[in-house]
Amino acid sequence: MAASNAGRHPQNVGCRTLSLSAHVGFDSLPDQLVRKSIKHGFCFNILCIGETGIGKSALMSSLFNTNFDNSPSTHFLSSVRLRTQTYELQESNVLLKLTIVKTLGFGDQVNKADSYQPIVDYVDAQFEAYLEEELKVIRSLFSYHDTRIHVCLYFISPTGRSLKTIDLLTMRNLDSKVNIIPVIGKADSISKTELQEFKKKIMSELVSNGIRIYQFPTDDETVSGINTMTNGYLPFAVVGSMEKVKVGNKMVRARQYPWGIVKVENESHCDTIKLRRMLCTNMEDLREKTRAYYESYRCCRLEKLGCRDIGPENKSISLQEVVEAKRLEFCLEKEEKEKKIKQQFMQKVNKKAAVLEEAEQQVLTKFERLMLTHQEEKLKLGEKKKILEDEIAQFIEKKAITESILSQVSVSTPVVSLKTQGLQKNQDFQPEVQCFCVRDEGTVNVGEQSERESEKEKLEKENSSREFQE
Ligand code: GTP
Ligand code: MG
């Protein structure tokens, strides 16, 4: 029996549809899946981006109706950081492994140009970790804790004006990697009419800046109505609270003010409950879209590694061929690199050798110069020595003459001989002076003579000390 292809899954186009004559039992397949999923549990990862104190922790606690750890972060961080916390939540018999990643110090730096970078890096790192697990020879994806971000709640400050540059920059850098849902934090601080205007402004700014945000799917008939309506509420105006307030005889999560109470779960007060409902009903779609983002990341990474599905002539190529081609490419690249490194090494060695040679030359010339100066000095010293030797010879000659004169004088005059005894003590006494003394000795009386003698002795002493110094 041939059947029309209309309304069929694309995979089944071309197949014949037959109706069974009796029950077989494969209609229990969905139940099997449900049982397996319940047993394994679900995992969901939320990234909260927003300024310090915008209400990230309060909203998370309000969304999941539990009080998570809420240690406030400081305003004085030098760069944006991320804090990851994983919880296991159970509702009925369904287990949810929830990971909440929150920014710390977002928007607190003077230079906010790179504030988005740590967030982008984090999202990529989760994709990379999953890819690594996937490429392992022995992999365990079933038990692997998938940390890929399924949804990003972007907190906008309730200024009532427009988006800040940091908001536009961050969302633009993330919109191809995660499902972004913009929310207006602390929405109770803005009036109802202002809020509507603010929402419109934000949406038009996002469109004009080409930023894609998550749209709740409208192709599924069961949720298309509510999703179309909810898309109109974007960005959600959220209010969070860690406290419960008694209203009537019920405890409700709310914020109490002198003028009244803002109930977190009241749809006419804020959109928190709409956000919770949409997250829960579209969790699987969010996970599926995340897989699509991951696919494009994976594709880019594998292409960078040289992996392709289609060869040069548009033919499909096997993994083995890809690996072989890559191996060849790698070998060639390695050879090329080796050649380059060798060349660079030789260049460096030659350069070093030239420098050493030059230094050696410089040392040699310096040494030669020093040798020359040394020889010159030596020559000069030799000349000086010769002059001194001549002077000494002259002096000895003069001394001999003086001595001979003195000896002659001592023979002819006895008084003088007395005197010369004193003079002889000093051999170097000037002969002229001695001659003068000898000639005058005959005419002086004894008193004068002794005076002169003492003067002479003085002169002798002076002479001898001068010689000694010389
Ligand atoms: P950090 O983790 O330190 O960056 O702060 P946060 O973004 O987690 O903010 P948190 O939830 O700790 O709230 C900071 C302050 O704002 C607290 O005093 C909250 O009570 C208050 N707050 C939180 N949500 C709201 C809200 O929706 N409206 C108002 N008016 N105040 C809020
Ligand atoms: Mg917090």
Question: Is residue 55 in contact with ligand 1, taking CB distance under 6 Å?
Answer: yes
b/e 74-95 (16+ beta carbons within 10 angstroms → b): eeeeeebebeeeeeeeeeeeee
pLDDT of residue 222: 84
Find out whether 106 and 54 touch, Cβ atoms under 8 Å. Answer: no
Q: What is the pLDDT of residues 346-400, one digit of tens each?
A: 999 999 999 999 999 999 999 999 999 999 999 999 999 999 999 999 999 999 9
Amino acid code (one letter) for 470: E
Question: Is residue 52 in contact with ligand 1, taking CB distance under 6 Å?
Answer: yes
pLDDT of residue 322: 78
pLDDT of residue 67: 86
pTM of the model: 0.70
Find out whether 80 and 132 touch, Cβ atoms under 8 Å. Answer: no
> Could you tell me the sign of the dihedral formed by the alpha carbons of 394, 399, 404, 405, in that order?
positive
Q: What is the pLDDT of residues 10-30, one digit of tens each?
A: 667 778 888 888 899 888 899
Where the chain has pLDDT below 70, the residues are 1-11, 412-453, 455-456, 461, 463-470
pLDDT of residue 3: 44
Q: Output phi, psi for 254, to 5 deg.
A: -160, 170
Measure the CA–CA gap between 280 and 286, rounded to whole angstroms. Answer: 10
In Å, how far are 399, 400, 417, 431 from 434, measured between CA atoms? 12, 14, 12, 5
Ligand closest to 53 (CA) is 1
Q: Whose CA is nearest to atom 5 of ligand 1?
A: 53
Measure the CA–CA gap between 264 and 272, rounded to whole angstroms. Answer: 6
Q: Whose CA is nearest to atom 30 of ligand 1?
A: 186
Give me ligand 2 centre to Cα 254, in Å: 18
Atom of ligand 1 nearest to the CA of 239: 27
Please, is 189 exposed, middle or buried when counting C-beta atoms within 10 Å of its C-beta (0-12, 13-18, 19+)?
middle
pLDDT of residue 294: 97
Q: What is the pLDDT of residues 383-397, one digit of tens each?
A: 999 999 999 999 999
Residues with CB under 5 A from ligand 2 (ion): 56-57
pLDDT of residue 459: 73
Question: DSSP class of residue 310?
Answer: B
Question: Is residue 54 in contact with ligand 1, taking CB distance under 6 Å?
Answer: yes
Measure the CA–CA gap between 376 and 323, rounded to whole angstroms. Answer: 79
Ligand closest to 76 (CA) is 1
HSE, CB side, 13 Å, CA atoms: give it for residue 317. Answer: 17
pLDDT of residue 179: 97
Question: Is residue 239 in contact with ligand 1, taking CB distance under 6 Å?
Answer: yes
